[in-house]
A and B are shown apart, each in its own frame.
Chain A
Amino acid sequence: MSFLSYLINGLSLGSIYAIIALGYTMVYGIAKMLNFAHGDVIMIGCYVVFTMTNSFHLDPLASLGIAIVFCTVLGVCIEKIAYRPLRGANALAVLITAIGVSYFLQNLALIVFGSDTKSFTSIIEAEPLVLAGGKLKIPVITIVTVLSCVVIMAALMLFINKSKAGQAMLAVSEDRDAAQLMGVNVNNTISLTFAIGSGLAAIAGVLLCSAYPTLSPYTGAMPGIKAFTAAVFGGIGSIPGAFIGGILLGVIEIMGRAYISSQLSDAIVFAVLIIVLLVKPTGILGRPIQEKV
């Protein structure tokens, strides 16, 4: 029974990684950059919810709504101010800027909210689901997390494949200049990508802090790095890849912690990444690098 409960925990953590990884992978696929500040957007989203529920006594769901809007706007602003002027600059300059934005957000949170760890109240207060005669207890937040991930994935796939804006995203990810020749506004498409990724980061953040209820300016950093790992693991640029990578990573982390060593669980996660990249450098669902003819 404990195996099953670890598996469920792993799926739940993996769902959170998957939602964060979607933001990484979409931005990489479309803007061709690694947005290392993505993890810190999660943390900002959590602080917004924390402030709304604790200082303004708003309903948790309304607070989540505000956090999504806030992070969406934040993501679009980060792209406009920090990354857009570097369009066409070399990848290293953009990467360093992203790390700079990450430190900026962490230190901003440090100034505004202080360095002390806040205890985050789960947005869902409910009795856990008891199965198998009391042997298996599943917290409701776990079920909500997994379901949210599945719904978000399905909605995103539908959006990309069926909507005009989604097709524009695919076209920009393949060939920015050719997409522009078709009439696609590349800047708007990249903004939309950041908006979606950052909005999802707010959701992921709240789910994360509901399951692991501590909040500090560094809350987003480690999950951000792990979700990035998940995105690379699944094949960066691929949306189903982010999903599979996230879920696998979550399960591996929890299983590693339970059966091997709780101190080494992070090391195990990154060891798996290294092995996958050695065997298949493009990740599980990554596309082979195409040669120009």
Chain B
Amino acid sequence: MAMLEVKDLQVYYGMIQAIKGISFEVNQGEVIALIGANGAGKTTTLQTITGMLSPKAGQVIFEGTDISKIPGHKIVSMGMAHVPEGRRVFANLSVLQNLRMGAYSLKDKGEIEHNLQRVYKSFPRLEERKNQPAGTLSGGEQQMLATGRALMSSPRIVLMDEPSMGLSPIFVDEIFSIIEEISSQGTTVLLVEQNAKKALEIADRAYVLETGKIALSGDAKELMTNESIRKAYLGE
């Protein structure tokens, strides 16, 4: 059984249908990429999965439970963390306060401390700047903070929305190696990216979204050799 299963999802913004019945699944331990152009519905899909938006129809089944009608604030404690588009760190809170907010859903102090040390180990820069307001960090550091904040909740799956957006090429490489590291530690990753080349390089499988529908799907390495993908998304 898939860890996360999206079934015939339909989402509207008012009268406009943004997601026109998409289905896909994510298995335990996989890195799944959701790629597509601007406005294809990638962010909307992630926001619907974690309850920031509610679907008009369809189901989101996470570890056997339909979570599409569960209030958004209860999703994270089920083991699903979301690194939102644009990072959305709490700019006036310190780096440490941001990370502690990430563990808001946890009760065990020892577990929180353990997660904090693990995040500091993955992102030494965050420890150096732990007392600094998050708004003073560079874009790349804020992305690390948003990622670390998500990992603070001990998630079994992490949803990442455009982690490379607006970052310098060095940081882009760093963010993708971080995603690989998260995956190697056993956490499942659902990655939304406009940088299709990078996303396909690290993903196991991928789904291509076009105007609210899944146009193509399959093994990431095979999609990279697909003629229409190469033309439309890889710029070749």
Binding site for B on A (CB under 8 A): 164, 167-168, 170-171, 174-175, 177-186, 287, 290, 292-293
Contacts and interface: CB of A to CB of B under 8 A. Distances in A.
Judged by DSSP, the binding face of B is: loop
A170 B93 CA distance: 8
A164 B52 CA distance: 22
B231 interface: no
B73 A184 contact: yes
Contacts of B101: 167, 171, 179, 182, 184
From B51, B74, B104, B105, residue with most partner A Cβ within 10 Å: B104
B135 interface: yes
A182 B52 contact: no
Contact of A183 (B92, B93, B153): B153
Contact of B139 (A171, A179, A293): A293
Nearest to B166: A293
Judged by DSSP, the binding face of A is: helix
Interface in B84-110: 84, 86, 88-93, 97, 100-102, 104-105
B90 A177 contact: no
Nearest to A181: B82
B52 A177 contact: yes
B76 A181 contact: yes
Contacts of A182: 76, 101-102, 104-105, 149, 153
A185 B139 contact: no
Q: How large is the interface on B (under 10, 10 to 19, 20 to 34, 35 or more residues)?
A: 20 to 34
Contacts of B105: 182-183
A182 B77 CA distance: 9
A181 B50 contact: yes
Nearest to A290: B91
B72 interface: yes
Contacts of B166: 293
A177 B76 CA distance: 13
A215 to B, nearest CB: 40
B135 A171 contact: no
B104 A168 contact: yes
A292 B77 CA distance: 29
> Closest 10 interchain pairs by CB?
A183-B105, A178-B88, A183-B76, A174-B90, A182-B104, A185-B73, A183-B104, A180-B72, A182-B101, A180-B73
B135 A167 contact: no
Contacts of A184: 73, 101, 104
B52 A181 contact: yes
Given A170-B90, A177-B52, A181-B50, A290 B73 contact: no
Given A178-B88, A293-B139, 15 more contacts: A170-B93, A171-B93, A171-B101, A171-B104, A175-B90, A177-B52, A177-B88, A178-B89, A181-B88, A182-B105, A183-B73, A185-B71, A287-B92, A292-B86, A293-B166
Contact of B72 (A171, A175, A181): A181
B66 to A, nearest CB: 19
